[in-house]
Chains A and B, each alone.
Chain A
Amino acid sequence: MKNKGTLGRRSFVKTTLTAGIGAPMIVPSRVFGANAPSGRLTMGCIGVGGMGTTNMQKFITREDVRIVAVCDVDRLHRLNAKEIVDTKYGETHTCGPFHGCSHYNDFREIIDRKDIDLVLIATPDHWHAIPAIMAADAGKDIYCEKPIALTVPEGRAMCEAVRRNGTIWQTGSWQRSVENFRFACELVRNGRIGRLETVIVSLPTGSEIGPQPEMPIPEGFDYDFWLGPAPWAPYTEKRCHWNFRWIMDYSGGQLTDWAGHHCDIAHWGMDTELTGPVRIEGRGDFPSDGLWNTAKSYRFECLYENGLKMTVVNDAQEKRGIRFNGSEGWVHVDRESFDAHPKSLLTSIIAKNEIHLYKSTDHWGNFIDCVRSRAMTVAPIAILHRSVTIAHIGNIAMLLERPLQWDPGTERFINDPEANRMLSRAMRSPWGI
């Protein structure tokens, strides 16, 4: 008879892996700031275009972080980023001697460097999964822009890699570190508007553009690498850099671009951060011609198991932001506005014995603090994966133009093989995860 106290091998593997303590067994030296004269953390930046340099500038001012390498497939971007770093560190001699920031075309050169502790990923969405998983497997902690990934399965693979490796992960969903958004969610979670009934999430309206001609690839732009795992397509200016957002091969439009902000805040207030809807239905207006093919206008409804309903629309239909509607009032919050009914809610005090949500006042600082303490960040991958999943399945529901049932546990549609076929995509060789 088996001793009840014995932990069988299967149970051991299952327990340790699911608890995330199976690996690594060695605590990273960056926890103690070891091997660095100043205890400083080193960072490599992958993707230093618009959002990449914006994020990089948040870290460059920190005394406890040193950016030692930048990477971008556009030589202009990476040389620009290198100049920013070299100039900053060159003028502040208190940082000690600085021999120049390295720059690479291939992100793997950053991943392979043993002296780099942290990685900042600000590439287009279709380039999130591969470097993130490789960085996690290489033992680096990661700050990655939202949305988490191009598809639900990619996001899940990233979550699992982060869990397996004990990676500290911060998503670029900085609204979680803004007082108004947290306070709005605390009002809702503490019942200030009564029983929460519906949530309306209003995001920016999409765009369209006509057919575009094939163009010569600009000098210094490694276009084939930029395409990476996405299907091959001729180069045209309106495909790349900022405009990747409007093409389904690389992103999911305004919907996925903003789901990591407003849908995430909605989940935070709804207390559904680690789950998802069970039913989704809606309509979208997708361009019928031209290069860009993501939804311009959209409206879909998500029904949750607890009876809550989230409606996601573009801002031509509702005021942008998140509106929580309860049985006794409502709260509306956006970056520039915060309103409620009754008005007294705006000055309500959350008592000590009430629900207080994760407080962060500096999103980038929160990441560094958590790297040292190994605590969970304010925007961990497991939660933000769920937020963007709403956008992914919303896009599928709108493309199929019929209601879909979703299982948030298995992350599959129920009884709908066609919808499930649209969840994942083969990557262009030689890329894969």
Chain B
Amino acid sequence: MLSQAKPFSRPVFVSTINSCETLLYCSWKGCTMFNTRYRYKYGFVLCFFVFNLIFFTRQHVSAEDMDRVQNSLKLIPSFRFGDSRAALTEVETFIRSTNDIEKRAWLENEFVRILNSDVTYDCIDFICRQLRVIGTDISIPVLEKLLLDNKTSDMACYALLPNSSPAAGKALRDALKKTTGKARIGIIYSLGERKDHECVDELVSLIFDESTKPAPDDAKPEEMEACKIAVETAIASIRALASIGGKQAGHALSRAKVHENQAVRTAASPAFLKWADTMVQNDNGE
């Protein structure tokens, strides 16, 4: 099984041009030994040949490469910290070696298949790190499931944060409503960094939720803990709104400056300044 030459892409083209700059120059200079009549004819042919040889060779993933990657993928589901990470490096090298859309889609589907099976946490960690770079809509459904689990939510955010697809934003927003505690806090920060305007209503409601009111002195430990998480959630929401910007966010931050809870008030003031910065950068201050 051999791969096919990759469709033209700018990064590969630029890289190839840079890499074979010297080789092409030497090829051209070599042609100067021909007399003028043949120099240009054979010179261009030779350079064209050399360029294509290098360009398509770069894109060619050999059968051996594919075998190595497939063998590595068999080892990844059971990878644990402390093991040799040679198999992981093999997969990373494969990703770096090709921008072939089909090859990467194949790999992403393999990742999804693995994540849907019984795997170690360290395997999930590794795959999410790769999806941070190459993830597309293909992997969003499985990442959505990981978002809902406290143990894996952080790494799912790690993978989804830089994915500009609207589906990634929707996955995070949907998970916002289904999660609690630390998982939800991580999702809030990710939405803030993505400047997701569609979650503003939800974030505002989290800032002024009943559970953010200061707990009474005689509150039980579990009530204190619940209040603590609610306040951390509110603070995360405040910071996210500051990054997102917009009038509604500004109003919420202004109200938060007189919140009943001291910790929320303390977070709101600097967040309001940051919101103002965001508005200036977005050039929509009114």
Q: How far is the CA of A234 from the CA of B122 in the complex (A)?
A: 10
Chain A residues within 8 Å of B134, by CB: 418
For the complex formed, measure the closest distance between the CB of A422 and the CB atoms of chain B, giving whole angstroms.
Answer: 6
Task: From A42-50, A211-219, A254-262, give the one contacting chain B.
Answer: A211-219
Listed stretches B7-15, B28-36, B197-205, B217-225; interface member = B7-15
Decide if A429 touches B183 in the complex (CB within 8 Å).
yes
Residues of B within 8 A of A426 (CB): 154, 157-158, 160-161, 186, 189-190, 193
Q: Is A60 an interface residue (CB 8 A)?
A: no
Determine the distance from Cα of A51 to Cα of B148 in the docked complex, in whole angstroms: 40
Using Cβ atoms and an 8 Å threshold, which residues of chain B touch A401? 15, 96
User: How far, in Å, is B263 (CB) from chain A's closest CB?
Assistant: 10
The A-contacting residues of B in range 188-218, CB under 8 angstroms, are 188-190, 192-193
Which residues of the partner chain B approach A213 to less than 8 Å between Cβ atoms?
A: 82
Does residue A6 face the partner (Cβ distance < 8 Å to B)?
no
Q: Inside 8 A of B14's CB, which chain A residues have their CB?
A: 402-403
Q: Which of B42-50, B67-75, B268-276 contacts its partner? A: B268-276
On whether the beta carbons of A288 and B86 are closer than 8 Å, the reply is yes
User: Would you call A164 and B273 a contact (CB within 8 A)?
Assistant: yes
Using A420-B162, A428-B186, A432-B239 as known contacts, say yes or no to A13 and B85 having CB atoms under 8 A apart: no
For B87, give the chain A residue with the smallest CB separation. A289
Kindly state the separation between the CA atoms of A231 and B12 in the bound complex, as whole angstroms: 32
Q: A17 touching B96 by the CB < 8 A rule? A: no
Stretch at the interface among B111-119, B253-261, B277-285: B277-285
Q: Does B101 contact A (CB under 8 A)?
A: no
- Say if the beta carbon of B182 comes within 8 Å of chain A: yes
Q: How far is the CB of A113 from chain B (nearest CB, A)?
A: 13
Contact B236 A430 (CB under 8 A): yes
Which residues of the partner chain A approach B274 to less than 8 Å between Cβ atoms?
160-161, 164
Q: How far is the CA of A289 from the CA of B232 in the complex (A)?
A: 38
Which residues does chain B contribute within 8 Å of A402, judged by CB atoms?
Answer: 11-12, 14-15
Q: Do B89 and A14 touch (CB < 8 A)?
A: no
* B153 touching A429, Cβ below 8 Å: yes
Q: Is B133 on the interface with A (CB-CB < 8 A)?
A: yes
Q: Does B286 contact A (CB under 8 A)?
A: yes
Contact count band on B = 35 or more
- Evaluate contact between A429 and B81: CB separation under 8 angstroms: no
Per-residue CB proximity of A13-37 to B under 8 Å, as 1/0?
1100110001100000000000000
A interface majority secondary structure: loop
Q: Which residues of B contact A165 (CB under 8 A)?
A: 270, 273
CB–CB B133/A422 < 8 A: yes
Q: Is the interface of B mostly helix, strand, loop or mixed?
A: helix
B162 touches A429 (CB 8 A): no
Residue A429 contacts which of B15, B189, B276 (CB distance < 8 angstroms)? Answer: B189
Name the interface residues of A37-92: CB closer than 8 Å to any CB of B.
none
Task: Verify if B24 is at the interface (C-beta below 8 Å from A).
Answer: no
Contact A160 B236 (CB under 8 A): no
Shortest C-beta distance, A173 to chain B (Å), equals 26
Which residue of chain B has the shortest Cβ distance to A427 in the bound complex?
B189
> For the complex, is A417 an interface residue (Cβ under 8 Å from B)?
yes
Contact of B81 among A234, A403, A422 (CB under 8 A): A234
Given A231-B155, A430-B232, A432-B189: A14 in contact with B285 (beta carbons within 8 A): yes
Contact A415 B81 (CB under 8 A): no
B154 x A232 contact (CB < 8 A): yes
B84 near A: Cβ within 8 Å? yes
Residue of A with least CB distance to B189: A432
Q: B64 in the interface, Cβ–Cβ < 8 Å?
A: no
Assess whether B185 is interfacial by the CB under 8 Å rule.
Answer: yes
Closest partner residue, chain B, to A432 (CB atom): B189
A289 touches B161 (CB 8 A): no
Q: A288-B86, A429-B154, A430-B232 are in contact. List 6 more A-B contacts (CB 8 A).
A: A17-B280, A211-B85, A233-B81, A422-B133, A426-B160, A429-B182
Chain A to chain B contacts (Cβ below 8 Å), 11 pairs = A9-B285, A10-B285, A231-B158, A232-B154, A233-B125, A423-B162, A426-B154, A429-B153, A432-B189, A432-B192, A432-B239
Q: Measuring CB to CB, which residues of chain B are less than 8 angstroms from any residue of chain A?
A: 10-12, 14-15, 18, 81-86, 89, 96, 125, 132-134, 153-155, 157-158, 160-164, 182-183, 185-186, 188-190, 192-193, 232, 236, 239, 269-270, 273-274, 276-277, 279-280, 285-286
Interface positions of A (Cβ within 8 A of B): 9-10, 13-14, 17-18, 22-23, 137, 160-161, 164-165, 211-214, 231-234, 236, 281, 288-290, 399-403, 415-418, 420-433
